[in-house]
Amino acid sequence: MEDKISNKNSSKGPSRVDGRLKVTGAAKYSAEYALPGMAYGVLVGSTITKGTITSIDTKKAETAPGVLAVISHFNCPKVPGYDSADPAVKGPLKIFHDNKIVYNGQPIAVVVADSFERALFAAALVKAEYNAEKHHTNLKDNLTKAVAPHDDAVYSRGMPEAWKTAAVTVEQEYILPSEVHHPMELHAIIARWDAADKISVWDKTQGVKDTQSNIAKLFGIPVDNVQVHSKFVGGAFGSALQVWPHEVAAIIGAKVVKRPVKLVLSRADMATSVGYRPHTWQKIAIGASADGKLVGVVHEAAGQTSTFEDFAEGPSDVSRQLYACPNVSTSNKMVSLDIGSPTWMRGPGPATGTFALESAMDELSYKLNIDPIELRLRNYAETDPESGKPFSGKNLKDAYRLGADNIGWSDRSQTPGSVTKDGWLVGYGISGGVFGADREPVTLTATMMADGKLVLQTAVSDIGPGTATAMVAVAAETMDMPADKIRFDLGDSAFPAAPQQGGSTITSSVGSAVYMACRDLKEKFQQLIGNGGTDKPDYAKVLKQHNLQRLQVTADSKAGKEVDTYAMYSWSVHFVKVLVNPATGVVKLDKVTCVADNGRIISPKTARSQIIGGAIMGIGMALMEEAVIDDRYGRVINSNFADYHVPVNADIPQIEALFVNKPDYNINPIGAKGMGEISLIGMAAAVANAVYNATGKRVRDLPITPDKLI
């Protein structure tokens, strides 16, 4: 393991380095750039769910004012990557490639015009004729068609049926509806061809290097000839982890009209065009001894996917990892339906899986008449139940204690519906969360300029958690210099390689690279100074003395042998206090306490924001969010913010974000692990468990709406 950074950060921490840019509007997002001669693209969506296109009437659109092109599969230039792909292999939708319709709203054409308004008007003039076929969009009706996507999707240890022999058992089904990615910033791209084999894009992406590579493969051009800019991203949660059809449409449009093309999805498009958390059915069977020790767990999950792309997020994996249990059997299956493809969404897998597992654990606690925290402590895993490896770091017991004290757990009653306050029923709930703590390869340059300013560069994106702020904090501490003399450049494919921002890996991965680069840079300065130097040199003065304009190092950071030695996870515990109106079924959250065990906290302010944001997302999952498909037509009918409900300020209670804050130097030299996922994972179950404690009514199909409690 490399040398490690100290743990001397303040409890307050630095303010966001990009905060002023964001609150003043100076931060430019992908749709906000204005290129000379820019044109505008608007997609035309299919009005059927399955079948083939027989004709497309584009004459009225083509003759409308300002229209430059109407592109469909009838006249679309060839996309080399589509033609070279194996037709037998499933994959992302090939836009404008053939006449097949595989989901409602699928783009069948793009209109390019000299203004957005003209493109929008002309798109409404495009009419298509179809041969419609019978479609299937209902998960429940098609569960018998569920299949495992790969061998690892089915797992077993011990005796799978052991739960049936236990003194106390729970066997239930749990349903999570589809949840749509609805970040504030709509997905957008500006595409400009700089030459026949050279392109620049300003794109909403969580991984500029991956987007660069995918565009190069699709259009058969050298990777270095693709320039991707994505300095600011207004939320993504997983929806920007791949190149979607609208991005390809804009690039095609720019090639056809020989002008830069901007394409911004509508809010309705967001429901079908950039993935979502899949509608998932789960079944849990748990058996325990009379004293609360788990005997066996069976966890089955089946989630929806599209017919053209296989996606399975692995909800049941959490049952392999969270508790010590000798007999565990899990399976993750998928059901192919005539819908758009789902994708990763914050806490993918465990966020879905913990709703089932932690609800079932709560049900077990009442059958056993054991406090839910005590039940979890009796099944506390000291080593990884799946691999048998020691944990790189686990302080979950501290998290239970911190959260219980803060929420006032001692006021909870084990008898549901027995506590009231001012006519409202009062309930408390708890849920745990876990997510893998990985460290990805990163290359980063650190350059000390002649004026004593430090510039760090790597091609990572930032979807909002405050990546630059945390990286500046690491550099300031390592270099022992003021943060306002450090600049962190990101979001550009011209910079050295970095991973996608997803899976809670960036602080661990990029932070380690920052630390290593700064350490190497300090060593270079010491070499210049010689043995008589100081540990805290005047960097600008040293450069001037040696007639240097700058001093630069490049660090390559990646995980080492520790991945074979330790099981690496971040952990969370969510505590919720709810008030439920017995007459109306309305649920009010009175207080939420979230405790994270994710190593060292590098940037306390942004860390707190991460935890609160994830908790709010979990509140939406528990009480409001549900994408509804009218199965008669295969169409999402609430693809707007009026009908797709998300939490607003009035729904959010006091939220306490607490941190164990014990460095995990076994995973990386800065001791930090991810928190973006665990901030959400378990929240839905904590709310559901609190509602049961308040009312005695167990809701197993989210969201928990008033009609389910009356």
Same domain, 398 and 469: no
> Which of 359, 341, 320, 110 is CA-nearest to residue 238?
341
Catalytic residue, chosen from 185, 247, 625, 677, is: 677
Q: Please identify, among 248, 271, 294, the residue that sits at the C-terminal boundary of a domain.
A: 271
Identity of the amino acid at 610: Q
Same domain, 364 and 471: no
Identity of the amino acid at 298: V
Same domain, 405 and 451: no
Mean pLDDT of 564-572: 97
Give burial (CB, 10 Å; 0-12/13-18/19+) of 55: exposed
Domain membership flag for residue 635: yes
Strand, helix or coil for residue 377: helix
Q: Give the whole-angstrom CA distance, residue 2 versus residue 505.
A: 18
> CA separation (Å) from 158 to 251, 380, 665?
53, 18, 33
Q: What is the pLDDT of residue 30?
A: 97
Which of the 8 DSSP states describes residue 477? H
Q: Give the whole-angstrom CA distance, residue 678 versus residue 434.
A: 6
Q: What is the pLDDT of residue 150?
A: 86
Give burial (CB, 10 Å; 0-12/13-18/19+) of 6: exposed
**387 is in which domain, residue-wise?**
276-438+565-708
Q: What is the pLDDT of residue 295?
A: 98
Q: Give the whole-angstrom CA distance, residue 599 versus residue 614.
A: 18
Identity of the amino acid at 186: L
Mean pLDDT of 384-396: 97
Same domain, 672 and 702: yes
Is 677 one of the catalytic residues?
yes
> CA separation (Å) from 141 to 10, 86, 333, 336?
55, 31, 15, 12
User: In this structure, are residues 506 and 517 in contact, taking their beta carbons and an 8 Å threshold?
Assistant: no
Is the confidence at residue 201, as pLDDT, over 80? yes
Is the confidence at residue 467, as pLDDT, over 90? yes
Residue 295 has φ and ψ, to the nearest 5°, of: -100, -40
Same domain, 197 and 71: yes
Q: Give the whole-angstrom CA distance, residue 518 versus residue 523.
A: 9
Which CATH number do you get for residue 92?
3.90.1170.50
| Residue the block writes with tokens 């510039």 | 455
> CA separation (Å) from 576 to 128, 326, 581, 586?
51, 30, 16, 16
Mean pLDDT of 588-601: 98
Domain membership flag for residue 522: yes
Strand, helix or coil for residue 203: strand
Same domain, 46 and 192: yes
Sheet strand arrangement including 587-597: 420-421, 424-436, 569-580, 587-597, 654-659
Which CATH number do you get for residue 522?
3.30.365.10
By DSSP bridging, strand 280-288 and strand 168-176 are antiparallel
Read off the pLDDT band of 5 (50, 70, 90).
confident
Mean pLDDT of 14-22: 92
Q: 92-106, 118-132, 146-160: lowest mean pLDDT where? A: 146-160
Mean pLDDT of 268-272: 94
Of all residues in the chain, the percent with pLDDT exceeding 90 is 95
Domain membership flag for residue 369: yes
Is the confidence at residue 7, as pLDDT, over 70? no
Instruction: For residue 643, give both structure tokens.
Output: 């009908």
| Sign for the pseudo-dihedral over CA of 79, 80, 83, 86 | negative
Q: Give the whole-angstrom CA distance, residue 326 versus residue 315.
A: 20
Domain membership flag for residue 167: no
Q: Please identify, among 558, 577, 611, the residue that sits at the C-terminal boundary of a domain.
A: 558
Read off the pLDDT band of 598 (50, 70, 90).
very high
Domain membership flag for residue 142: no
Is the confidence at residue 1, as pLDDT, over 60? no
Same domain, 115 and 192: yes
Which of the 8 DSSP states describes residue 166? S
> Which of 278, 350, 302 is CA-nearest to residue 148?
302
Same domain, 571 and 674: yes
| Residue the block writes with tokens 């053209």 | 308
Domain membership flag for residue 678: yes
> CA separation (Å) from 121 to 57, 60, 118, 395, 645?
15, 11, 5, 58, 29
| Cα dihedral value 238, 243, 249, 251, nearest 10 | 130
* Domains: count for the chain: 3
User: In this structure, are residues 411 and 478 in contact, taking their beta carbons and an 8 Å threshold?
Assistant: no
**Mean pLDDT (the chain, rounded):** 96
Q: Give the whole-angstrom CA distance, residue 302 versus residue 305.
A: 10
User: In this structure, are residues 600 and 671 in contact, taking their beta carbons and an 8 Å threshold?
Assistant: yes
Is the confidence at residue 292, as pLDDT, over 50? yes
Same domain, 77 and 206: yes
Residue 633 has φ and ψ, to the nearest 5°, of: -115, -10
- Cis amide leading into 703 (omega within 30): yes
Is the confidence at residue 594, as pLDDT, over 90? yes
Is the confidence at residue 9, as pLDDT, over 70? no
Q: Please identify, among 535, 558, 581, the residue that sits at the C-terminal boundary of a domain.
A: 558
For the chain, what is the radius of gyration of the CA atoms?
A: 27
Read off the pLDDT band of 10 (50, 70, 90).
very low
Give burial (CB, 10 Å; 0-12/13-18/19+) of 545: exposed
Per-residue pLDDT of 43-98, as tens digits, reads: 999 999 999 999 999 999 999 999 999 999 999 999 999 988 888 789 999 999 99
Is the confidence at residue 3, as pLDDT, over 80? no
Q: How many CB atoms lie within 10 A of CB 632?
A: 9
pTM for the structure as a whole: 0.96
Domain membership flag for residue 227: yes
Q: Give the whole-angstrom CA distance, residue 178 versus residue 305.
A: 11
Same domain, 510 and 644: no
| Residue the block writes with tokens 């092109």 | 69
Q: Give the whole-angstrom CA distance, residue 202 versus residue 232.
A: 10
Read off the pLDDT band of 4 (50, 70, 90).
confident
Is the confidence at residue 244, as pLDDT, over 70? yes
Strand, helix or coil for residue 512: helix
Strand, helix or coil for residue 525: helix
> CA separation (Å) from 278 to 474, 499, 522, 619?
37, 24, 48, 18
Same domain, 345 and 230: no
Is the confidence at residue 441, as pLDDT, over 90? yes
By DSSP bridging, strand 486-489 and strand 454-457 are parallel
Instruction: For residue 588, give both structure tokens.
Output: 């009010």
Supply the angle between the helices 604-623 and 683-695 in degrees, to the nearest 10: 50
Instruction: For residue 369, give both structure tokens.
Output: 């008449």
Mean pLDDT of 211-236: 97
Same domain, 487 and 421: no
Read off the pLDDT band of 112 (50, 70, 90).
very high
Q: Give the whole-angstrom CA distance, residue 463 versus residue 461.
A: 6
Domain membership flag for residue 257: yes
| Residue the block writes with tokens 């190593």 | 599
